[in-house]
Structure 1
Amino acid sequence: MSSSTVIIKDGAVYLSSDVYTRFFDRLESVILLRRDRDLCILPVRHSAAGGYLLKMRNKAGDRVVHAPDFFRESGSLKNLCTEFAAEWSSTHGALMIAGAFEV
């Protein structure tokens, strides 16, 4: 499967409309998890489950997840502006950014 691009900048995760539609279409929130050096972005199917809001950034449908607390607690990536390759993992049921916490 081809990889998608995700940008992490100033404690936020930026998803293009293509990435949003492909992996999180019609969802309002996601859960962010750190698994060793990897970042997992998991879809939240029921709003009562919580998570971080997928806020619309522009008319093109790009989304942003503001999560400074997550990155602060993870101790990394907070002030970076980095573009990452991300791939869907059916094993984890998440969009995975391998090695995101090595930067």
Structure 2
Amino acid sequence: MKCQITESGYLHIPAEIAQQYFTTGAVIALLKGKELLIMPVNYVGAGGLILKYRNAKGDRSVLLSELLPEDVDYGMRDVQWDEEALALRIPLYIT
């Protein structure tokens, strides 16, 4: 699975990932060490960050610029779903 962090501070999530893990359209984002954790919110009324539609295919975006460290690596990266944390794990730095 791959996602992209853009230079403008957006996380782009492909439709396949969004439809499987983020069906409500809202997420919580946390920094944990050198990773970003993206967790689904049970319903939009609970708060969180809104996932916006990018295209008709269903790709989604969420603005994270205020949360990202200044030295984050932008671009595509491999991501993993963490069943224990119920979160998408996204490395902030490309190695």
Same fold (TM over 0.5): yes
Q: CA deviation at 1:38?
A: 0.9
**Matches of residues 45-64 of structure 1 in structure 2 within 5 Å?**
45-64=42-61
Unaligned runs of 5+ in 1: none
Q: Does 1:94 align with 2:83?
A: no
Contact 1:44 1:50 survives alignment (8 Å): yes
Q: Distance in 2 between matches of 1:70 and 1:62?
A: 21
Which of 13, 16, 30 matches 1:15?
Answer: 13
Counterparts of residues 30-41 of structure 1 (less than 5 Å): 30-41=27-38
Q: What is the TM-score when the length of structure 2 is the normalising length? A: 0.86
Are positions 1:85 and 2:83 aligned together? Answer: no
Q: Deviations over 1:63-102 (max 9, x none)?
A: 000122122xx3343xx531111111111110112x3246
Q: TM-score, normalised by structure 1?
A: 0.80
Kept after mapping to 1: 8 A contact 2:35/2:89: yes
Q: What code does the residue aligned with 2:20 have? A: R
Structure with the bigger percentage of helix: 1
Percent of matched pairs sharing the same residue: 27
Question: Which residue is 2:70 aligned to?
Answer: 75
Q: Which consecutive aligned stretches of 4+ in structure 1 deviate over 6 angstroms post-superposition?
A: none
In structure 2, the gaps of 5 or more residues are none
- The 3 A distance-change label for structure 1 pair 5 and 22 is same
Offset at residue 23 of structure 1 (A) = 1.4
SS at structure 2 position matched to 1:45:
coil
AA in 2 matched with 1:48: G
Seen in structure 2, the aligned counterparts of structure 1 residues 102 and 62 have a Cα distance that, compared at 3 Å, is closer
